[in-house]
Structure 1
Amino acid sequence: MQLGFVTALFPELSLREILEFAAETGYDCVEVMCWPPSKAERRYAGVTHIDVASLGDRELSEIDSAVRSTGVKLSALGYYPNPLTPDLAESEAVVLHLKQVITGAAALGLGTVNSFVGRDWTKSVDDQWPRFLDTWRPIIAHAEAHKIRIGIENCPMLFGKNEWPGGKNLATSPAIWRRMFNDINSNSFGLNFDPSHFVFQFIDPAPALMEFKHRLFHIHAKDARLDQWALNEYGALANPALFHTPKLPGLGDVNWGRFFSVLTDCGYQGPVCVEVEDRAYEGTVELRKASLRQSATFLRNYIPKE
């Protein structure tokens, strides 16, 4: 396995600066954010370290030079919008850009793009399933044509008032994954598995890892702390932001020893990228760098340097 991190927490740094820091800190790879250049609509969104819409020979050469000089690889390209938003014009633009990210990954010689399936948060899973299939079958066909795998993260996107009650991502549970992969049965369609999103759903990640081991394209290492006092106050039917807190690996309720025990049994040998969404470390660039040093120290107990 390769230890990496998600570049979203450094919007003010260039890709080369990020790769240099990763090399200094002992990381093997980074997942590179590829939003279209714009103002972010939420935390960690709207970050562009590779602009795939203007990825020409010069840009490809510069990226290759930075990778070679630092020795830090690109694990995947990341773009996490809502392709199933009820705003159809927005959805069309999102799908177009996602296809550009797929094309860009192929041009860079990469194998994986990570994203969300998306969701209309006002509708049930069944009510929007036909639209999911109509939207995602052409995306996966585009990925197949470019020999790219799409890793879908299992974050429910159910934290803000504009995401209630359904959240903005369908792919939140093993039951939905099973249906999703049955209806779009492609070797280019899989998971960017993040165990932290199972904490507040009270789901044990181990059985899911085993069942979907052939769909594990990429792993996010993020933790989450369940606050029982808040759960007692608001109940499990409340917005999850009221009773759980994203944390650095090792500072929450994920059992990392068991997680990696099962992950290695699955035969997974790919990237594991730290995703920092811990507000205690957000204040400055130096704090965010410190969060990655701390996370690397913790995770190297499970991921030896290759």
Structure 2
Amino acid sequence: MVAVKPYLREVFKLLVFRDLIGRHGVAISSLGYYPNPLAADRDEANAAVAHLKQVIETSAALGINMVTTFIGRDHTLSIEDNWPRFLETWRPLIALAESKGVKVGIENCPMLYGLDQWPGGKNLATSPAIWRRMFADIPSPNFGLNYDPSHFILQHMDYTAPLAEFRDRLFHTHAKDARIDRASLDEHGVFALPKLWHTPKIPGQGDIRWGRFFGALHDAGFTGDIAIEVEDRAFEGSLEGRLDSLRISGRYLRQFIAG
């Protein structure tokens, strides 16, 4: 009975929460959790993996069936030297997700902005070359992408080119823009810390051509959810400013989305 009671309390909380969002007409596209499961600090990595398992199980229990997250990376090591830990960590996680009917969408953020993330960044899954290898080594249909075009602006890459090839792996998307300060980039160079020349913006106020992006997204047959992600400091000063960022983003993006 000692072990059962906490379990029943958790089940009750889930049922109450599921009823609450249902009564208010709220839809949740995914449970997002963005730690570093491959962190150099093994205690940090182990805690991230343990909680990620709980997130996967909770997503299934709530009927959301989608989790968005990072692969993680030991930023002190090369991609090649990270690969054995990637397989050791993620094969069981994806097997768990598949057994629960949950899809896991990996965001393509490099997580390389400051000195604490230098030199490799804290997320492996940043480019099509790495994605191909990931999906070849873990070919589960429940393993895919949470695609954010703004991270390609940071990496000076084409943000539409991968969509057709990875159409079957497009589980979820983020609508976030980014702006490159060319004068600062010319001053510091591309190998300087990105925070010196890169700024996240709300959709329509950065360098992404959203008509081009949505055209490629529609061509790829994507019908999933698009989540507005706000990291724009111009709107962070107040609650009203943060609400405005969502209103402005929503109005801008509706020209590309039916309904």
After TM superposition, the score normalised by the length of structure 2 is: 0.95
**Structure 2 CA distance for partners of 1:54 and 1:210, relative to 1, 3 Å:** farther
User: Are the equivalent residues in 2 in contact too, given 1:174–1:208 (CA < 8 A)?
Assistant: yes
Q: What is the CA deviation profile of residues 92-146 of structure 1, one whole-angstrom value per residue up to 9, with x for unaligned ones?
A: 1110100000000000011210000000111110111111111111111111111
Pairwise CA distance, 1:54? 9.6
Which position in structure 2 is the counterpart of 1:272?
A: 226
RMSD over equivalenced CA pairs, Å: 1.4
**Identity score, percent:** 56
Ranges in structure 2 where 5+ consecutive residues have no aligned partner: 1-6
Q: What is the CA deviation profile of residues 232-291 of structure 1, one whole-angstrom value per residue up to 9, with x for unaligned ones?
A: 001111111111100000000111001000101111111000000001111111111111
Pairwise CA distance, 1:188? 1.0
The whole-number CA distance in structure 2 between the counterparts of 1:164 and 1:55 is: 43
Which position in structure 2 is the counterpart of 1:69?
A: 23
Pairwise CA distance, 1:64? 2.2
- What one-letter code is carried by the residue in structure 1 that aligns with 2:209? N
Pairwise CA distance, 1:55? 7.4
- What one-letter code is carried by the residue in structure 1 that aligns with 2:192? A
Which position in structure 2 is the counterpart of 1:145?
A: 99
The whole-number CA distance in structure 2 between the counterparts of 1:149 and 1:202 is: 29
Write out aligned runs for 1:46-195 (5 A).
56-195=10-149
The structure with the greater share of residues assigned to helix is: 2
- What one-letter code is carried by the residue in structure 2 that aligns with 1:296? G
Which position in structure 1 is the counterpart of 2:180?
A: 226
Which position in structure 2 is the counterpart of 1:259?
A: 213
Matched residues, number? 253
- If asked which structure has higher relative contact order (CA below 8 Å, sep 6+), I would say 1
| 3-state SS of 2:80 partner | helix
Ranges in structure 1 where 5+ consecutive residues have no aligned partner: 1-52
- What one-letter code is carried by the residue in structure 2 that aligns with 1:102? I
| 3-state SS of 1:225 partner | strand
After TM superposition, the score normalised by the length of structure 1 is: 0.80
- What one-letter code is carried by the residue in structure 1 that aligns with 2:207? D
The whole-number CA distance in structure 1 between the counterparts of 2:221 and 2:43 is: 41
Write out aligned runs for 1:239-250 (5 A).
239-250=193-204
